[in-house]
């Protein structure tokens, strides 16, 4: 083993392993790459199986160390019947033996969805508008907090404060769209 490498590398291929795969496939890079990918996939699947097997055993070992209230909330389900003891059959997805036809579908990021994050001029402009709206909101809030009157003057300042708050919210949206990455929720239209 090479010096300085962790002894329990499960998913890493070092240079010697790649060289062995290349030699075994007569220096055909495509065939060697395919074989490496199959081996890594096999290792991942084996690792996941072991994790699932050992997680319940590990929990049994440490459950005595946990607060009983916490330990009582953790359950392991090995079959559909185990799941149905805690989840209504109508709510359990069909994949796990229930009646809910929901099927999770991952929507990968679009190539251009984070493009606004690279437009620094627009980011700076949006930040200026947001900062200006925040300063205005702070000014109106100070006036509102220092007011000693009631009635029409208080209502007027409260309305000004609400309007300033709405301006902060509106000015924050274009800024947030340029500095925050999109998520699955954005792609689904939830956010």
> Which stretches within 63-119 are classed as H helix?
68-71, 80-84
- Residue 11: predicted pLDDT: 41
Rounded Cα gap, residues 57 and 170, in angstroms: 52
- Answer whether residue 119 is part of any domain: yes
Is 2 a member of any domain?
no
What end-to-end distance do the CA atoms of the chain give, in Å? 50
Same domain, 24 and 38: yes
Whole-number pLDDT of residue 28: 80
- Residue 61 sits in the same domain as residue 86: no
Q: Does residue 44 form part of some domain? A: yes
Percentage of the chain with pLDDT > 70? Answer: 82
What integer pLDDT is reported at residue 32 of this predicted model?
76
**pLDDT at residue number 7:** 46
- 81/45 same-domain check: no
What's the token pair of residue 75? Answer: 């359950």
Total residues belonging to the chain: 191
Provide the residue range defining the domain that includes 129.
Answer: 115-188
95 has a pLDDT exceeding 80: yes
Rg (CA), the chain: 29
Is 63 in the same domain as 79?
A: no
Q: What percent of the chain has pLDDT over 90?
A: 20
Number of domains present in the structure of the chain? 3
């Amino acid at each position: 083993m090479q010096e300085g490498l962790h002894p329990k590398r499960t998913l890493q291929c070092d240079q010697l392993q790649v060289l062995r795969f290349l030699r075994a496939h007569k220096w055909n890079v495509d065939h060697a790459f395919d074989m490496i990918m199959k081996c890594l996939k096999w290792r991942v699947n084996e690792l996941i199986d072991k994790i699932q097997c050992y997680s319940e055993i590990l929990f049994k070992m440490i459950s005595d160390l946990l607060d009983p209230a916490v330990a009582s909330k953790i359950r392991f389900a090995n079959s559909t019947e185990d799941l149905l003891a805690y989840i209504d059959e109508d709510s359990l997805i069909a994949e796990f033996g229930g009646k809910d036809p929901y099927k999770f579908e991952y929507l990968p990021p679009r190539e251009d969805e984070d493009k606004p994050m690279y437009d620094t001029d627009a980011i700076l402009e949006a930040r200026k508008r947001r900062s200006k709206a925040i300063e205005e909101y702070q000014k109106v809030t100070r006036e509102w907090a220092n007011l000693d009157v009631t009635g029409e003057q208080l209502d007027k300042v409260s309305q000004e404060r609400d309007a300033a708050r709405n301006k902060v919210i509106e000015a924050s949206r274009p800024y947030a769209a340029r500095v925050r990455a999109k998520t699955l929720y954005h792609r689904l239209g939830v956010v």
